[in-house]
Amino acid sequence: MNKRIIAITAIIFTAALLRLIPHAPNFSPIGAIALFGGAYLSRKYLAYLIPFAALLISDVFLGFYGIGMLVTYGAFAVSILIGSLLKKNLTWYNVAFASVASSVSFFIITNLVFFYPSAAGLYTHDLTGVIQCYAAGLPFFQNTFASDLVYNGILFGSFYLLNVNIPALNAEKLKA
């Protein structure tokens, strides 16, 4: 592995460690890990493998959570895909837009797990039930949205500063 891939991997796994410290509900770096990995790991298999490995390892310590976990991982994959669309045009406003898109898609996908099975009978299976389900999730979305903006700023900003200060990382850009 070259230095660039090692630096990106280190940033991703460091961010994953932040999931293990106490934080507000849904204020974690998982959206940023996915977006960042998708944007900077040019080998497609690494863009998925490294962020998923970081998420899975942190989930080993946090605990597994049934069907919701599969949906979360699916939404995580969508965020990686969104990040991969940034590769050719990485600007601060594109990262901000991708962060918003990633947060919204994550919210829509993961909230569906609470609506669709409705095992607890919380929501009716009609438009009213859908609206109630997503409205109930809005307080969690606030934190997801805020954390994605904050952590994307930190991850993308940190790597930008590393590139400016360590020219070898830019030299290896074409190899990664």
Q: What pLDDT, in 10s, does the model give residues 108-149? A: 998 887 666 655 577 887 888 888 888 988 988 999 999 999
Q: Could you tell me which residue, 7 or 117, shows the higher pLDDT?
A: 7
Give the whole-angstrom CA distance, residue 49 versus residue 56. 10
> What range defines the domain where residue 36 resides?
3-171
Q: What's the pLDDT score for residue 176?
A: 47
Judge whether 24 lies within some domain.
yes
Judge whether 116 lies within some domain.
yes
Helices 67-84, 30-40: axis angle to 10 degrees equals: 40
Judge whether 31 lies within some domain.
yes
Contact 41, 2 (CB under 8 A): no
Judge whether 123 lies within some domain.
yes
- 154-174 pLDDT per residue, tens: 999 999 999 999 888 876 564
Residue-averaged pLDDT of the chain:
90
pTM of the model: 0.90
For the chain, what's the residue count?
176
Give the whole-angstrom CA distance, residue 10 versus residue 166. 15
Q: What's the pLDDT score for residue 50?
A: 98
* pLDDT mean over 93-119: 86
Judge whether 46 lies within some domain.
yes
Give the whole-angstrom CA distance, residue 18 versus residue 90. 25
Q: What's the pLDDT score for residue 108?
A: 93
- 10-24 pLDDT per residue, tens: 999 999 999 999 999
Residue 21, SS3 per DSSP: coil
**Is the pLDDT score of 48 beyond 80?**
yes
Judge whether 176 lies within some domain.
no
- Average the pLDDT over each of 27-36, 51-60, 123-132 and give the range with the smallest value: 123-132
For residue 89, give both structure tokens.
């045009």
Q: What's the pLDDT score for residue 41?
A: 95
**Domains contained in the chain, number:** 1
**Is the pLDDT score of 34 beyond 80?**
yes
